[in-house]
Amino acid sequence: EKAGYKHFMAKEIAEQPVVLGDALAHYLPEDRINLPETLDFTDLDRLTLVACGTAFYACSVAKYWFEQIAGLPCEIDVASEFRYREPPLPAKSFAVFVSQSGETADTLAALRYCRERVERTVAVVNVATSSIARESDVALPILAGVEVGVASTKAFTCQLLVLAVMALKAGVDRGRLTPDALAAHVEALRHLPGLMNAALSLAPQIGKLAEQLSQAQDILFLGRGSMYPLALEGALKLKEISYIHAEGYAAGELKHGPIALIDRTVPVIVLAPHDRLFDKTVSNMQEVMARHGKVLLISDARGIASASEGSWATLKLPEVPEPFAPILYALPAQLLAYHTAIAKGTDVDQPRNLAKSVTVE
């Protein structure tokens, strides 16, 4: 069942190039965006994205895409807050519910709240027969295949892919994407499975870093732009399975509080592709190093060449077109969590206190 891997999580991390390829073949066949006609974003005033845990972080990344690619105002919320806040919703809006299991109680309740209030409810789910899929107007399968590990991995990257394709359709519908720009984005997404293979080959290097990370009491993750939600996801993954306290922060927030935590015992993992925000993130990273924080810089060749001085370690990923970097950078974050947990000897597939599907509040 584990196909020769020690844990389901390892198998599911390794499967990502293949399952992402399957999702790409389904949603971007030839030169077409394969989404239902009823998902017409033309006249929308707002998109609302609701989910829990890792699925919420997928929504948080997608917010950057819907805003930047499609100029579509986008609200995100965790389902447990959204459902009791009972927010007003513009009638000309879609509400999107992202859930691997499709059975998360809070997400289902949020969907039920939205049903009569928005134009269309959309489920982005792995389990196509689930409650959330059945009760939504439109259900989009993420095609990740069965995910067994409690820590969500391949479902996250496949959720991101489906949300990215939705953002492209929104960009076309709203006249924000020229045919050439669309073609460039599609091309970039199609390259991802190959780039993911390169990221997976970092596993031995990550295994060595994990020996040291497993000694830490606290670990920080920093990112800017769409790398900020990925910092949150990296921290969630690590705390879930290694039980090390980890926090993700927007790099620019560092000086508003968390920098007080930095000393030589605190590893700081910086997720920073060489994009338009790179220099800003580097200056935050330098503030960490000035206080003897142990920086692990995850970047591409250009980023590492220009900013690795003074860091504890680096991990080099291939270059990836700017908006979609989170889909690739998720892999080293998952591998860091996995190998750190292995070094600590925790139960990776069945971490304490957690269930795969949270069907009660």
| Residue closer to ligand M6R, measured from CB, 55 or 118 | 55
350 near ligand M6R, judged by CB under 6 A = no
- Tell the smallest beta-carbon distance from residue 187 to ligand M6R (Å): 29
| Residue closer to ligand M6R, measured from CB, 103 or 275 | 103
151 near ligand M6R, judged by CB under 6 A = yes
| Residue closer to ligand M6R, measured from CB, 99 or 284 | 99
- Tell the smallest beta-carbon distance from residue 358 to ligand M6R (Å): 5
One-letter identity of residue 288:
V
Q: 239, 280, 344, 356: which one is catalytic?
A: 356
Contact 59, 51 (CB under 8 A): yes
Residues 24-63 that bind ligand M6R (CB under 6 A): 52-55
| Residue closer to ligand M6R, measured from CB, 52 or 262 | 52
Which one of 15, 77, 240, 349 is in contact with ligand M6R (CB under 6 A)? 240
Nearest-angstrom CA–CA distance, 361 and 358: 7
DSSP 282-328: HHHHHHHHHTT-EEEEEEEHHHHHHH-TT-SEEEEE----GGGHHHH
- Tell the smallest beta-carbon distance from residue 96 to ligand M6R (Å): 13
Name the residue with tokens 């060489």.
Answer: 274
- 207 exposed, middle or buried (CB, 10 Å; 0-12, 13-18, 19+)? middle
Note if 316 is an active site residue: no
Is the four-CA dihedral 176, 272, 153, 132 of positive or negative sign? Answer: negative
How are beta strands 245-250 and 218-223 bridged, if at all? Answer: parallel
Residues 185-214 that bind ligand M6R (CB under 6 A): none
Residues 308-337 that bind ligand M6R (CB under 6 A): none
| Residue closer to ligand M6R, measured from CB, 23 or 28 | 23
- Tell the smallest beta-carbon distance from residue 183 to ligand M6R (Å): 32
DSSP code at position 258:
G
CA angle 227, 230, 234 (to 5 degrees): 135
Residue 150 Rama label (left phi>0; alpha psi -120 to 50; beta) = alpha
Which one of 60, 99, 284, 334 is in contact with ligand M6R (CB under 6 A)? 99
122 near ligand M6R, judged by CB under 6 A = no
Which one of 152, 242, 284, 314 is in contact with ligand M6R (CB under 6 A)? 152
| Residue closer to ligand M6R, measured from CB, 41 or 338 | 338
E strands, 24-149, are: 46-51, 74-78, 93-99, 120-125, 138-141
- Tell the smallest beta-carbon distance from residue 198 to ligand M6R (Å): 24
Residue nearest to ligand M6R (CB): 53
101 near ligand M6R, judged by CB under 6 A = yes
69 near ligand M6R, judged by CB under 6 A = no
- Tell the smallest beta-carbon distance from residue 103 to ligand M6R (Å): 7
Three-class DSSP category at 121:
strand
Contact 95, 135 (CB under 8 A): no
Tell me the HSE value of 314 on the side-chain side, using a 13 A CA sphere: 18
Catalog residues that contact ligand M6R under the rule CB under 6 A. Answer: 52-55, 99-101, 104, 107, 150-152, 240, 354, 357-358
Active-site residue set: 356
